[in-house]
């Protein structure tokens, strides 16, 4: 999909608040990675996987959002702050964060 020009979207709710992986179990430290992913033996998803995929695909090809703003979740601004903090905790640089939050859309109209 990236090779065809698509953006890959990551939403925080898909990795934390609406899954069994609670936000209180997020750890950037490698030794606690299994806790970040739901208390299992190996990491298999969550914010860490999103971070790894963003590195693989490149920040120019990805966007982040939250899917927040519904009754039981924090407001979207707080959600985006949390997602940014988590990604930075996992090593995503500020330049890439800026690309993820405000991607540059190619001009398809010529």
Domain-embedded: residue 40: no
Residue 57 in domain: yes
Residue 24, in any domain of the structure: no
On whether residue 95 sits in a domain, the answer given is: yes
Backbone torsions φ then ψ of 37, nearest 5 degrees: -105, 15
Sign of CA dihedral 73, 77, 79, 81: negative
Number of domains in the chain: 1
Q: What pTM does this model have?
A: 0.71
Please indicate, yes or no, if residue 96 is contained in any of the structural domains. Answer: yes
**Residues 56-83, mean pLDDT to the nearest whole number:** 88
Length of the chain, please? 110
Has residue 8 been placed in a domain? yes
User: CA–CA separation, 94 vs 101, rounded Å?
Assistant: 11
Provide the pLDDT confidence category of residue 105 given band limits of 50, 70 and 90. Answer: low
> Tell me: the pLDDT tens digits for 31-62?
555 544 544 544 456 788 889 999 999 999 99
Instruction: Tell me the residue range of the domain where 95 lies.
Output: 2-18+46-101
Mapped onto helix, strand or coil, the DSSP state of residue 48 is helix
Residue 53 forms part of a structural domain = yes
Domain assignment of residue 27, yes or no: no
């Amino acid at each position: 999909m990236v090779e065809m020009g698509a953006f890959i979207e990551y939403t925080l709710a898909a990795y934390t608040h609406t899954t069994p992986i609670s936000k209180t179990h997020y750890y950037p430290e490698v030794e606690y990675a299994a806790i970040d992913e739901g208390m299992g033996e190996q990491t298999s998803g969550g914010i860490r996987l999103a971070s790894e995929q963003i590195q693989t695909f490149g920040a120019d090809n990805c966007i982040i959002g939250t899917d927040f703003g519904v009754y039981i979740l924090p407001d979207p601004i707080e959600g985006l702050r949390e997602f940014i903090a988590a990604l930075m905790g996992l090593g995503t640089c500020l330049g890439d964060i800026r690309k993820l939050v405000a991607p540059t859309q190619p001009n398809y109209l010529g």
